[in-house]
Homo-oligomer: A and B are copies of this chain.
Amino acid sequence: MSQFSVIPWNARSWLEVSSQSDFSLQNLPFGIFTSNGRTEPRVGLALGDWVVDTVALFDAGLLAQVPGLNRTHLLAAELNALLSAGSLTWRGLRAQVAELFTAGNSTLLKNSDLHSRLLVKQSEAKMRLPTRVSNYVDFYSSREHASNVGAMFRDPQNPLLPNWLHIPIGYNGRSSSIIPSGVPFKRPMGQLKADTDPAPIFAPTKQLDFELEMAFITGKETALGETISAQKTDDYIFGLALLNDWSARDVQRWEYVPLGPFLAKTFATSLSPWIVTLDALQPFRVNGPEQTVPVLPYLQTAGPQTYDIHLEVLLQSERMSEPLRISRTNFKYMYWSMAQQLAHLASNGTNVDVGDVYGSGTISGPTPDSYGSMLELCWKGTKPIALPDGSQRKFIEDGDTVIMKGWAEKDGVRIGFGEVRTQVLPAG
């Protein structure tokens, strides 16, 4: 793990950071924000309840020793320029912020007049998409999810397709419809056709679903014709975020043969605003499930390849006063690792851009309460979920808000992702 830059595990901040906060000193995730008085988007790092304004730090002369850093990397509507400056630069920035905020460092403490310029309350910050996304790809890497779908729609005795255990299956998504947490969307219209209908109708989807996913975001590009070794993918992965891959199941069923899901997925994809660095997650590295069929050499890796990240999905109707947790699972259940996904993706020489978003696919665990979509949780509508407002859900209704959270935790140190929260508005 020598290539990673991990903030000392026992360091604490002089700034008050609750032990329940997702944003410990060891986390320091990156995002893009604006606030009152900061109308130009800029790079921020989250710490406790605060956003650290990197432009203000730069202007105070406190980032002078960060190699290769200049102000245009920070006063930017996306992280792409900072990431393109190289890992020495963004790692140097994160390390310097950690140092400035570590208990015992007096640089900022003795300049308390700086604090109001450097620190913005998260409740007063407006978060944007963290990167400009050239490519958005979605994988399909949970064996439990693929098996559940196969059992429901094909053959319960033989739910996996023949290629699934050989290929980290994925497909291209639509970059422009990725939206940040907090942005609502309208229920999409689409062509719907039951098997017994003579012809399709055009109507609002009746089977709107979420998919609980994580996404990795690339921090280093490749040229067309280059590949990425499965042993070297960590050099290309900047960090992770939470992703809700919204899906219209009825649209998908009618449109997806033979070229895959299209309009069933392109109306909205929600991304959490803070990218947690792969560096911050190193202490949580664990082995994934055993791969039961040997993989081809270009997909072979050594050592633990996944991360112990707790995940949950909450649902809140407009009549509920607080959300209900409807699923609890873990990122470590994924069969195919990020290393395998990225090595596979690049194995044909396609070029990777900085800021690309690569979704994991729906994350379903082994038990029915750990499934990552309504389709699976309600088993195709046969097991509706009862809500505390007296209603039932088989899929997502107008006005519902879906919230996804994720965090890793060990020895009292919490590395969290915050949340991705999205409300569904009526069609039209």
Q: What is the chain B residue whose CB lies nearest that of A248?
A: B348
Chain B contacts for A81, CB-based, 8 A: none
- Return the contact of A296 from the options B163, B179, B191, B263 (Cβ within 8 A): B191
Q: Using known A-B contacts A167-B191, A189-B349, A266-B348, determine if residue A259 contacts B260 with beta carbons closer than 8 Å.
A: yes
Does the CB pair B134–A267 fall under 8 Å?
no
| Closest Cβ–Cβ distance, residue A146 to chain B (whole Å) | 9
- Check if A166 is an interface residue, CB within 8 A of chain B: yes
Size of A's binding interface in residues, CB under 8 A? 60
- Return the contact of A347 from the options B202, B257, B347 (Cβ within 8 A): B202
Does the CB pair A166–B225 fall under 8 Å?
no
- Return the contact of A176 from the options B140, B176, B262, B350 (Cβ within 8 A): B350
- Check if A29 is an interface residue, CB within 8 A of chain B: no
Q: Which of A162-192 contact B (CB under 8 A)?
A: 163, 166-167, 169-177, 179, 185-186, 188-191
- Interface residues of A: mostly helix, strand, loop or mixed? loop
- Check if A64 is an interface residue, CB within 8 A of chain B: no
- Check if A254 is an interface residue, CB within 8 A of chain B: yes
- Check if A303 is an interface residue, CB within 8 A of chain B: no
- Count of identical protomers in the assembly: 2
Q: Using known A-B contacts A179-B224, A251-B348, A351-B176, determine if residue A259 contacts B171 with beta carbons closer than 8 Å.
A: yes
Chain B contacts for A248, CB-based, 8 A: 348
Chain B contacts for A353, CB-based, 8 A: 176
Chain B contacts for A260, CB-based, 8 A: 171, 256, 258-261
Chain B contacts for A251, CB-based, 8 A: 348
| Closest Cβ–Cβ distance, residue A350 to chain B (whole Å) | 4
Chain B contacts for A172, CB-based, 8 A: 171-174, 262, 266
- Return the contact of A350 from the options B137, B166, B171, B263 (Cβ within 8 A): B263
Chain B contacts for A345, CB-based, 8 A: 263, 266
Q: Using known A-B contacts A166-B191, A267-B349, determine if residue A177 contacts B257 with beta carbons closer than 8 Å.
A: no
Does the CB pair A350–B163 fall under 8 Å?
no
Q: What is the chain B residue whose CB lies nearest that of A170?
A: B262
Q: What is the chain B residue whose CB lies nearest that of A190?
A: B348
**What mask results when residues 244 to 257 of chain A are scored 1 for a CB within 8 Å of chain B, else 0?**
00001001001111
Does the CB pair B167–A134 fall under 8 Å?
no
| Closest Cβ–Cβ distance, residue A425 to chain B (whole Å) | 8
Chain B contacts for A171, CB-based, 8 A: 171-172, 259-260, 262
A131 to B263 Cα, complex, angstroms: 24
Q: Which of A102-158 contact B (CB under 8 A)?
A: 134-135, 137, 140
**Contacts A/B (CB < 8 Å), 18 sampled:** A135-B176, A163-B200, A166-B200, A169-B255, A172-B262, A172-B266, A176-B351, A176-B356, A177-B224, A186-B225, A189-B298, A189-B348, A190-B348, A202-B296, A202-B298, A224-B268, A258-B260, A263-B344
**Known contacts A161-B258, A171-B172, A189-B349; can you find 18 more A-B pairs with CB under 8 A?**
A134-B175, A135-B175, A137-B174, A163-B254, A167-B191, A167-B254, A170-B262, A174-B350, A176-B351, A185-B349, A188-B348, A189-B227, A189-B298, A248-B348, A256-B258, A256-B259, A263-B344, A267-B348
